[in-house]
Amino acid sequence: MTQSLSVSRRSRPSPFAALPHYLAVLVVLATLTLTVLGPWMTYKPEPYTGEGSPLRQLCYFAVFPLAIAAVRPLNRPSRLFAMPLLLVMALLWSWVSVRWAIAPDMAVRRLLLTTIVIWTIFLAVEDLGYTKTMKLIRVALIATLIANYVTVIFIPHFGIHQLELSVSRSGVDPGLVGDWRGMMLQKNFAGAACAITLLVFSLDARRVRAWVRILVIAASILFLVKSGSKTSMGLSVLGLGLGWLFMRYNPVYRMFLIPLAIVAGAAAYLFVMMHWEALTAPLYNQAAFTGRTLIWPPLLAFAKDHLTLGAGYGSFWNIGPGKSPIYAYAKGWVVHITQGHDGYLDLLVTIGLPGLLLVVIATIIAPLVRLLVHPNVPRATGALLLAIVIFCAGHNFTESSLFDRDSVVQTFLMFAVALIYKVTPSPSPWRLRAGPRQPQPRLAHD
**pLDDT single digits (tens) 109-155:** 999 999 999 999 999 999 999 999 999 999 999 999 999 999 999 99
Measure Cα distances from 410 to 121, 233, 300, 397 in Å.
11, 18, 23, 13
Within-domain flag for 439: no
Within-domain flag for 189: no
Span of 9-13, 79-83, 316-320, 409-413 with lowest mean pLDDT: 9-13
Within-domain flag for 322: yes
Within-domain flag for 299: yes
CA distance 198 to 216: 8
Please tell me the predicted confidence (pLDDT) of residue 429: 42
Residue 77 confidence (pLDDT) above 80: yes
Please tell me the predicted confidence (pLDDT) of residue 275: 72
CA distance 41 to 223: 24
Domain boundaries, position 27: 17-130+249-434
Q: What is the mean pLDDT of residues 216-235?
A: 95
Residue 286 confidence (pLDDT) above 80: no
Within-domain flag for 297: yes
Residue 428 confidence (pLDDT) above 50: no
Q: What is the mean pLDDT of residues 385-403?
A: 95
Within-domain flag for 176: no
- Number of domains making up the chain: 1
Report helix, strand and coil shares of the chain as percent, to nearest 5.
Answer: 70, 0, 30
Residue 129, sorted as left (phi over 0), alpha (psi -120 to 50) or beta, turns out to be: left
Q: What is the mean pLDDT of residues 412-434?
A: 77
Please tell me the predicted confidence (pLDDT) of residue 445: 42
Within-domain flag for 289: yes
Residue 75 confidence (pLDDT) above 70: yes
Give the angle subtended at the CA of 413 by the CAs of 349 and 113, to the nearest 5°.
60
Within-domain flag for 23: yes
Q: What is the mean pLDDT of residues 6-32?
A: 77
Residue 246 confidence (pLDDT) above 70: yes
Please tell me the predicted confidence (pLDDT) of residue 341: 92
